[in-house]
Structure 1
Amino acid sequence: MSEINLALGAMEFGTRIDEKTSFALLDQYVAEGGVWIDTADCYAFWQSESGFGGQSEELLGRWLAQRPGVREKVRIATKVGWEPLVVDGFPEQTEGLGTAAIDAAVETSLRRMGIDHIDLYWAHRDDRNTPMDETIAAFGRHHAAGTIGRVGLSNWALWRVERARGLAANLGVVEPTAIQSRYSYLQPRPFVRGHVHDHRFGWVTDETLDYVENQPAWDLWAYTPLMSGSYEREDRPIHQAFDHPGTTRRLETLSKVAAELGVSRSTVVVAWLCGGTPPIRPIIGASRREQLAAAIEGARLDLGTDLRTELDRPW
């Protein structure tokens, strides 16, 4: 089975999504050629009675322990930076990206998942209260120790990404090589706040695409690519940030292409993301097997030049 350019989002595993369902989705994903599993040390504090995260990583640890040999087939990506320090402390009182926070989070994530290294370690957000060289040096030390592999930056402004890269080069430590932000086929109106979970720089822009396209070793990951089911479900209305004529035209085109191919609109969106320039790795937070199957179908679907041109035509 060939690898698919699709990450499985484990955010709600162990909280909203129960263990049996989570295990089934993980098994399905791996059986279909899935490799990357994306989580965070803070998932999902807002759904936990404790007010703190860790449930997703703990569930992944139980799944890995009950599937001998599967660790060699999958790569684990987790994050640091947003775990609340006190109940109801998010977002003001969170762990941040200081040395002590990163050291503690790496140790905790490894213990929860029962693994000896994290394949891709994300700075979940930019912590401007901590000197960036402190953050980069801490990541570098863990990379040198073998506890983390690659480093990624999520919800960072591009100028800060480039500064982090320069600092890493100057310090002689591992440089970040991945960006994670929100992205989908529909695009919000410029400068509309509140549509990306209050992450000011949490949306892929043309500048992001250009940056990654010109950095061959870099990966671009997209969270919420299917807009929480809004492409398929009438009870999940599209956010008002997307209320503009371009959305109307894009939805019409998306529906036309999906009907022509005999697949869902979500499948087409995944295909559009995976097969674009640069290719984007969507993070799929499925809660049902059919949702994951549709996304996997999209990851394998070649839209061809004509359909992609139609989907990309000016608004």
Structure 2
Amino acid sequence: MYLGTRTDRATSFALLDRFVEAGGTTIDTANCYAFWASGTGHGGQSEELIGDWLRANPGLRERLVLATKVGVEPLDGGGVEGLGAETVRREAERSRERLGVDRIDLYWAHGEDRGTPIEETTEALGALVAGGTVGRIGISNHPTWLVERSRAHALARGLEPASALQLTTSYVAPRPGAAVEGKDHRFGWVSEETIDYLERNEGIELWAYSPLVQGSYDRDDRPFPQAYDHPGTTARLAALTDVARELDVARSQVVLAWLLHRSPQVRPIVGVSSLDQLEPALAAADLALDADTMARLDQPA
């Protein structure tokens, strides 16, 4: 997220180099990253940095899945760009230019736009897939009913339906309905309805942003937001701590492994700013949790 802004160029390149060296294949960004840290009020810096890195490493592109997003880049007069058809087409082209690629492998509708019919957005995204400049479509921070409406419209029109959802989830969860500091997407959370929808619709991936709650599992200086303060969190953190000690790993590593072992599987998106943060995340991908351990984590005493 902060590649090219808070994370300087040399560090950003080192992180990307180590990621692919370790076998990483998917890089997720957005056209709006990171407008709040750029000094200009606009994004694009992350895509530009990734594009520069790709140009400095010829031959890597074919090994990677590049995902980016459209919809919440700020406008000069206030508000955000939204998901109108022309915006989707224009911003896809601009993202490809910044990334220096002919095709975006996975293109996300970043946040819902109640001012634009979802059918219009769906058709614009589908046209990009049909034209070969986008591989497939994802939907982020939308209520489930809008996801289904989009997919049904795409299928009825012979267009590519969304095959991935990106929301936030983690091992612990805030109280239902509680406001969470820093989270402004009303429908940006994985819910029981989300899980039920995925179980009844095969072939849709679930991706999770902010799976480590900004470092709260491991850092005393980053306590969980107040909305997470409830008995369920206490019980789950106790179980998580026990498992982490037994496996001699950090609690955050167990969280990432737990997400990967879930059904439906969750693909965690991890944002890091140093190699010291990246290495444990990479190691978590190989952390095995057996059925008994998963049961202890899923149903803490």
User: C-alpha distance in 2, partners of 1:196/1:144?
Assistant: 36
Equivalent residue number for residue 148 of structure 1: 134
Give the counterpart of 1:192 among 178, 182, 195: 178
Give SS of 1:57's match. helix
Is the 8 Å Cα contact of residues 120 and 151 (structure 1) preserved in structure 2? yes
Q: Which residue of 2 aligns with 1:65?
A: 55
Q: Whose RCO is larger (CA < 8 A, sep 6+)?
A: 1
Displacement of 1:309: 0.5
Counterparts in 2 of 1:299 and 1:117: CA distance versus 1, 3 Å: same
Bigger mean CA offset, 267-276 vs 288-297:
288-297
Matching of residue 100 in structure 1 with residue 86 in structure 2? yes
Residue-by-residue CA offset, 1:188-226 (whole Å, 9 max, x unaligned) = 100112346111111111221222233221110000001
**Aligned-pair CA distance for 1:314:** 5.2
Query: Which ranges in structure 2 are unaligned for 5 or more consecutive residues?
Result: none
Contact 2:180 2:226 in 1 (8 A): no
Deviates more, 1:190-199 or 1:36-45: 190-199
- The counterpart of 2:119, out of the listed 106, 128, 133, is 133
Choose the corresponding residue for 1:75, options 59, 65, 76. Answer: 65
Q: Which residue pairs with 2:21 in the alignment?
A: 31
Q: Which letter maps to 1:156?
A: H
1-structure distance, mates of 2:56, 2:85: 33
Instruction: Identify the residue that residue 264 of structure 1 maps to in structure 2.
Output: 250
| Residues 1-315 of structure 1 mapped to structure 2, 5 A cutoff | 11-86=1-76, 89=78, 93-195=79-181, 197-313=183-299
The alpha-carbon distance between structure 1 residues 196 and 274, as it changes in their structure 2 partners (threshold 3 A), is farther
How has the CA–CA distance of structure 1 residues 201 and 195 changed in structure 2, closer, same or farther, with 3 Å as cutoff?
farther
Superposed CA offset, 1:26-76 (max 9, x none):
111111111110000000000011110000000000000001111011110
Give the letter aligned to residue 148 of structure 1. V
Q: Distance in 1 between matches of 2:52 and 2:190?
A: 34
Compute the displacement of 1:81 (Å): 0.1
Q: TM-score, normalised by structure 2?
A: 0.98
Gaps of 5+ in 1: 1-10
1:152–1:177 contact (8 Å) kept in structure 2 = yes
Q: Which position in structure 2 is the counterpart of 1:6?
A: none
Q: Which amino acid aligns with 1:13?
A: L
Q: Share of identical aligned residues, percent?
A: 53
Aligned length: 301
Between the aligned partners of 1:313 and 1:186, the Cα distance in structure 2 is 12
Deviations 1:64-117 (A, max 9, x none): 000111101111000000001117x3xxx1110001111110110000010000
Deviation at 1:290, TM superposition (A): 2.3
Partner SS state of residue 179, structure 1: strand
Say what the alpha-carbon RMSD is for the aligned residues: 1.1
**Contact between 2:29 and 2:67, CA under 8 Å: does it hold in 1?**
yes
For normalisation by structure 1, the TM-score amounts to: 0.93
- Secondary structure, aligned partner of 2:23: coil
User: 2-side partners of 1:215 and 1:96: how far apart?
Assistant: 27
In the alignment, is the contact (CA less than 8 A) between 1:143 and 1:174 conserved in 2? Answer: yes
SS of residue in 2 equivalent to 1:294: helix
Does the 8 Å CA contact 2:155/2:161 hold for their aligned counterparts? yes
